[in-house]
Chains A and B, each alone.
Chain A
Amino acid sequence: MLIHDLGQLISALSFSGERGRNRTFNLLIKSQLLCQLSYAPILRWGCGRSERADIQFTMAARVNPRGYPILLVALINRLVVENLKHRPIRTLLSVLAIAIQVTMVLTLVGVSRGMLDEQARRSRGIGADIVVRNSAGGALLSMSAGNLLEGFVPFIQKQPHVVAASGVLLYSSGFLTAPVTGIDIASFSRLNGGFRFEQGGPFEQPYDLIVDDYFAHQNHLRVGDHTQLLNQSWRVCGIVEPGILARTEVPLETLQKLTSNTGKISAVYVKVDSPKEIQPVIAELKKRMPAYGIVPMEELISQISVNSIPMLKEFIDVVIGLGVLIGFLVVFLSMYTAVLERTREIGVLKALGASPAYIVSILLRETFLLAICGSILGIAITFGARWLINDVIHGSLIQAVVPMWWPIAGGIAIVGALLGATYPGLKAARQNAIEALSYE
């Protein structure tokens, strides 16, 4: 009995002689068949379950009723899967390497996004409506610049509709060093109602330090402990909830003295009595302080992006490039050894009349499958990395989940892998059939 329609096909699949071993693959075939339902208006279930029917299914029945070449796709994919299963360690290592590549890209992007989101959150936590800075400033405040006179603070405070103005000085002693922020805690508290202390309280001495809970965890600090910042010993006077300004705050005057910025600040945060007064106050301040950058806080926050951190985008590009290189090299080696190992099989396929494209297609499908598996594993590992960074290590980094980058990282992995498979694929396609058949 020949199998003529999709219903019979699916039925035949369900009693394939290899039910146990090939269940997964049969399910794959079934899913492919079900995808073709639109081509099968009539579903007729059931057919004879004789050995002979099984043979017929085996040889030919994976064809939908209109003759679409499902078998071609299914069988070559089966060969691909079986080839990968044949060398599980090599396959696993290839998948793992691609996964690490994907994880690397996603973790970097996630950390960048996480840090920027955190920066935006903490900027919002300040509670200011307007920021006054030196006009050269970007989205992020200049890290070591006391380029604004502290005398502007009382001037701004006196403007109509301004309910609070507070000057801050940001200072960082070096690259990748967390900045220290000097604040006048009285005026700063008027912006946002003040810090929410989990332990301790405001500054009592010049060398007192307020840290947020995250920083305290990271450095194992409690109130009364001393810690080193800017080559000075500071006493932790208070531990606050995170989310306002910075992770470490010290008295403004102390920081100004320590950094030779007496009388200077980095920015003035301004709060007005009503949101509708933001633009009029800005306009008025711009008239009086034309040389300075005066912007709404929300605008400043909206500018916080990868592009606002110098060289970050370039750094991400370099990591992506490295990712492509890793994928390329790993897959190149993997496929090259596979081609050498399968020299005789390639010869057999050629003897059967397989075209170079058919042989290359097998290798590219294997590569594609490796890259897909590696990408999925890489995404999963990224969650593990995020858990380590955010919850276990208590580092100062924050990693966000960025699903938008999953297909991008996967695409990068696939491109690198396919590039890596190109030369081995061409080598296989150009194999001399006679030499390949005599290969031991």
Chain B
Amino acid sequence: MSDPIISIRNLTKSYHVGEVDVQALRGVDLDVQRGEFLSIIGPSGSGKSTLFHIIGGLTPPTSGSISIDGRDLLGMSESDRTNLRKERVGFVFQKYNLLPTLTARDNIAIARDIAGKNGVPEPWFEDVVELLGISKRLGHKPRAMSGGEQQRVAIARAIVNRPAILLADEPTGNLDTENSNAVLRLLRDLNDRLGQTVLMITHNPEAAAYGHRIVTMRDGRIVET
């Protein structure tokens, strides 16, 4: 088996809320293989989102070790983590988080701008746009699109730079069953066709079942793999 794309050992994270220390992660160990679709489930407050934020470089860990695509996150500066997000990680959020003033195409294009990729996108992306079924909606702004369409645009934005890891945080949380299934199938398709590594946080066991593997978190630890 090749080296895991994500390798986490004894990872902890504590927050200060006022004068109280909150232990969000209490020693997480996790390996994710390249090309794997991993679902993370657990109740609210179990540490899923914190783990998601650390893997995505949005916040630094407190202790332990974490390596993403061969890069150690523990000693990373804010600037290094910005570069990590730009180059290695794509996010899909529950609330889509498209920029409301831009059209779908510019919402996707801005991810390339930020990554400093000003050239022609690779041909595979055309297929992705077709696969996502948004080619006819690219000229519309988010307010003119359904939730499912917005989430598909958000997925396109997340993968346009071909990140090493796609992090999806409750990607179906705001969608009805039909759109949820469509989005989950798309994530699985992207994983199958492109070999895109996907980490998905969800409360929904049915959604989690789309992954190759499911891990369960509780009280800041992984309790079941």
Contact = CB atoms under 8 A, between A and B. Distances in A.
Interface in B87-110: 87, 91, 93, 97-103, 105-106, 108-110
Contact of B101 (A18, A79, A350, A355): A79
The range of chain A's interface size is 35 or more
A86 B85 contact: no
A305 to B, nearest CB: 49
Interface string B124-137: 01100100000110
Contacts of B126: 52, 55-56
A283 interface: no
Nearest to A347: B97
Contacts of A85: 101
B180 to A, nearest CB: 21
A18 B106 CA distance: 12
Given A59-B125, A353-B86, A353-B87, A75 B110 contact: yes
Interface in A344-361: 344-345, 347-355, 358
A349 B112 contact: no
Contact of B121 (A17, A59, A347, A434): A59
A353 B115 contact: yes
Nearest to B93: A437
Most buried by B among A51, A54, A351, A434: A351
A82 B120 contact: no
Contacts of B102: 78-79, 82
Contact of A352 (B53, B86, B138): B86
B139 interface: yes
Contacts of B177: none
B56 interface: yes
Interface stretch (A64-72, A248-256, A290-298, A367-375): A64-72
A71 B98 CA distance: 19
A61 interface: yes
A29 to B, nearest CB: 12
B85 A352 contact: yes
A259 interface: no
A433 B54 CA distance: 12
A56 B83 contact: no
B22 interface: no
SS class, residues of chain A in contact with chain B: helix
Contacts of B91: 351-352
Contact of B58 (A2, A78, A433): A433
A63 interface: yes
A60 interface: yes
A17 B139 contact: yes
B113 A58 contact: no
Interface in A399-440: 433-434, 437
Interface in B109-164: 109-116, 118-121, 125-126, 129, 135-136, 138-139, 157, 160
A318 interface: no
A347 B97 CA distance: 9
Nearest to B104: A58
B82 interface: yes
Given A56-B120, A59-B121, A59-B125, A75 B109 contact: yes
Interface in B55-97: 56, 58-59, 79, 82-87, 91, 93, 97
A437 B114 contact: no
Contacts of A350: 58, 82, 85
B56 to A, nearest CB: 7
Contacts of B53: 434
A27 interface: no
Nearest to A351: B91
Contacts of A61: 120
Given A59-B121, A61-B120, A348 B129 contact: no
B109 A58 contact: yes
B56 A18 contact: no
A169 interface: no
A3 interface: yes
B159 to A, nearest CB: 12
A358 to B, nearest CB: 6
B85 A72 contact: no
B58 A434 contact: yes
Nearest to A68: B118
A351 B108 CA distance: 14
B118 A69 contact: yes
Nearest to A71: B118
B56 A75 contact: no
Contact of A51 (B86, B93, B110, B135): B135
A373 B110 CA distance: 25
A55 B138 contact: yes
Contacts of A72: 113, 116, 118
A76 B99 CA distance: 12
Closest 8 A-B residue pairs measured CB to CB?
A353-B86, A82-B101, A60-B120, A353-B85, A58-B105, A18-B139, A69-B118, A17-B139
5 contacts: A61-B120, A72-B113, A76-B113, A352-B157, A354-B114
Given A75-B109, A353-B86, 9 more contacts: A17-B138, A55-B105, A59-B125, A59-B160, A60-B121, A61-B120, A71-B112, A75-B106, A347-B97
Interface of B: 53, 56, 58-59, 79, 82-87, 91, 93, 97-103, 105-106, 108-116, 118-121, 125-126, 129, 135-136, 138-139, 157, 160
Interface of A: 2-3, 16-18, 21-22, 51-52, 54-56, 58-61, 63, 67, 69-72, 75-76, 78-79, 82-83, 85-86, 344-345, 347-355, 358, 433-434, 437
